[in-house]
Amino acid sequence: MSSSSLVIARTGRHRQRYENNLRLVSGCIPYRLREDKEDCSGNIENRIQVLMVSSPNRNDLVFPKGGWEDDENVLEAACREALEEAGVKGILRKTPLGIWEFRSKSRQNICSQEGGCKGYMFALEVTEELDTWPEQGNRDRKWVNTKEAFKLCRYEWMREALEKFVRVIAEDKEVETREETQIVENLGHLALPLTLPLPLQLPVSDVVVGGCQMIASNCYVKTSSSHHHVIASFPWHCAPQEVATDMSY
């Protein structure tokens, strides 16, 4: 874990986006894959842990989300909310898990006059967890497995997003495993030693962040299951940079 730099949670609704009288919301499901050498089933779901945060003034846990503002794109909004509410950074899967319309049951005026929201949800692979974060005073965070997360989801749309998330992560892992197997097979055909470092084994920390240190406050965007990462930068930090690109797909 590390401490956050000078990042302050955004407040107010003067920059809020609306569409057809619905407040536009962006959020994510932060996750990590737990190493479990005792699990021989090969079921990726058994290794997934997701991060949930408490809601102010309510006894429930939710995924980080919040208003999508007019000076950022939907990916940047999801990254910002993850940092502000949960204090995490990571790799955001560019393709959304889905788009859901829902009503705010606790405070109807939080979304629109009718209490309606249109939410975009993404998967965020956590690479850094901060010791302190902007909304730490109002929110607690908790890592849970997917079975517990389903029980904790208060709303149907959250459960649907979690179901889609589990499917997507499992599919991505299958693709990654096939790619790694193919690389090993190709190396075998070339009669190269199997101890040769494989590109797919390169840790995230070895391929990210160069030139602009404050970019660490953002998160990287994963365009597909292959290793193609693009930095999603916030306008108040610095210009976006392309970090690691594999265009072989």
Each residue's pLDDT tens digit, 13-45:
668 899 988 999 999 999 999 886 555 566 888
CA distance 54 to 138: 8
Of 15 and 77, the one with more pLDDT? 77
Instruction: Average the pLDDT over 179-206 and give the result.
Output: 61
Phi, psi at residue 111, to the nearest 5°?
-105, -60
Q: What is the predicted pLDDT for the residue at 211?
A: 26
**Which tokens is 133 given?**
């974060």
The DSSP output letter for 66 is: E
Q: What is the predicted pLDDT for the residue at 236?
A: 35
* pLDDT per residue as tens digits for the range 130-178: 999 999 999 999 999 999 999 999 899 999 999 999 999 999 888 888 8
* pLDDT per residue as tens digits for the range 100-125: 998 865 554 455 555 699 999 999 99
The top-level CATH class assigned to 1-249 is alpha beta
Instruction: Average the pLDDT over 185-208 and give the result.
Output: 53
Q: What is the predicted pLDDT for the residue at 114?
A: 58
- β-pair type (22-33, 116-129): parallel
Q: What does the mean pLDDT of the chain come to? A: 76
Contact between 187 and 195 (Cβ < 8 Å): no
Write down the domain spans for the chain. Answer: 1-249
Residue 56 three-state SS: coil
Q: What is the predicted pLDDT for the residue at 187?
A: 83
Q: How far is CA 233 from the centre of its chain?
A: 14
Contact between 127 and 229 (Cβ < 8 Å): no
Q: What is the predicted pLDDT for the residue at 37?
A: 59
Q: What is the predicted pLDDT for the residue at 39?
A: 58
Percent of the chain with pLDDT over 70: 63
Which string of DSSP letters, residue by residue, matches 4-48? --S------STTB-EETTEEEEEEEEEEEEPP-TT--S--GGGGE
Q: Which residues contact 108 (CB under 8 A, 6 or more apart)?
A: 114, 115
CA distance 112 to 116: 6
**Whole-model pTM?**
0.71
Contact between 90 and 30 (Cβ < 8 Å): yes
